[in-house]
Amino acid sequence: MAFASRYVVILDVHRDRYTCVLRKHFDALGPWLSGWPSEATAHGLESHLPSIDKVPELAAPFLERGILTVDALGSKPVCPISVAVPKAGECLDYHIARRSIWAKAAAFFWACHRAHAALRHRRFESVIGTVSNRRRRCAPDTDADSTERALRLFAIFHSLRPLYPRAYLCTFDSLALLEFLALWDLHPRWIFGVRADPFQAHCWVQHGQALLNDRIDRVRPFVPIMAV
C-alpha cells in the first residue's frame, strides 16, 4: 500500500492489479484498520470520524473487492512500506574491458531468457514469491564491496542489453538484472512504485541506497508500494 497524492494505492499481487481509492474514504476507516498511521488527531479531525456503528457500512465496498478483510490470518497491516532513499550509482562511468563484458555474455543471455520465460508462463505472484524467497535464503548484504560489485555487474548488463531482442520494459529489465546478479550471489531489492494524477506504476532495482538500473529523476516521483 502507498499514499500517492490524494489517493491510497493498493497492489494486489495475487491478481496483478492496482486499485486506487480516495484517501479521504480510507481516512474515515483509519482508526479501525490494523496498522493504519492515522493523522486524524494531528489534524484535529477526530470529531469528523464516523461512529463505530457506521464502520461496517463504510467498509462493505472494500470487503467486497478484497481490499479489506476481517480475517487476520494471512492479512497485512494497512501501512506504507519503508525503503532506503535511493542515491545515484556511477556504474555507467565504469570502464569495463571488452573481454570482461563478453566473458559474462552467456550469463547475461541466460538471465534474460529466464526472466522472459517467467513473465510469460508464470503468474506475477509466483515470480515475486521466487525472488522474495531467494533473497530471504541468501541473507543479502549491502556493504561497500557488494555495492561496488553490483554497480560493475550492472555496467556489464547495460552494455549487453541492446543484444537481447526484447523491448525495454521496467518489469522485464529489473527481473533480468536480478537473475543476472544472483549468479554472483548479489540480491538487491526489487522496488515497485506508484504515482497518481495521472496514475503510473514503475519498478527498479536498488542495492541498499544505490540505484542500479534507473535515474534518480525518473524514480523520485514514485512512492514505493512494494519491496521484494
Q: What is the DSSP string of 143-181?
A: -HHHHHHHHHHHHHHHHHGGGS-S---HHHHHHHHHHHH
Question: Helices 144-160 and 170-182, interaxial angle, to 10°?
Answer: 120
Q: What is the pLDDT of residue 48?
A: 54
3-state class (DSSP) for residue 226: strand
Return averaged pLDDT per consecutive 10 residues of the chain, 228 residues in all.
85 87 78 69 47 74 80 76 80 76 97 97 96 88 86 94 95 98 96 92 94 92 94
Q: What span, in angstroms and rounded, lies between the C-alpha atoms of 128 and 217?
A: 26
Q: What is the pLDDT of residue 24?
A: 78
Task: Tell me the CB-side half-sphere exposure of residue 16, using CA atoms within 13 A.
Answer: 10
pLDDT tens string 22-63: 887 777 777 778 877 655 434 444 445 556 667 777 788 788
Domain boundaries, the chain: 2-64, 87-227
**Residue 199: all three cell numbers together:** 496514475
pTM: 0.86
**Residue 108: all three cell numbers together:** 547475461
CA dihedral 91, 95, 100, 101 (to 10 degrees): 60
End-to-end, the C-alpha distance of the chain in Å comes to: 14
CA 167, 170, 174, 177 torsion-angle sign? positive
Angle at 24 between CA 19 and CA 25, to 5 degrees: 60
3-state class (DSSP) for residue 6: coil
Amino acid at 14: H
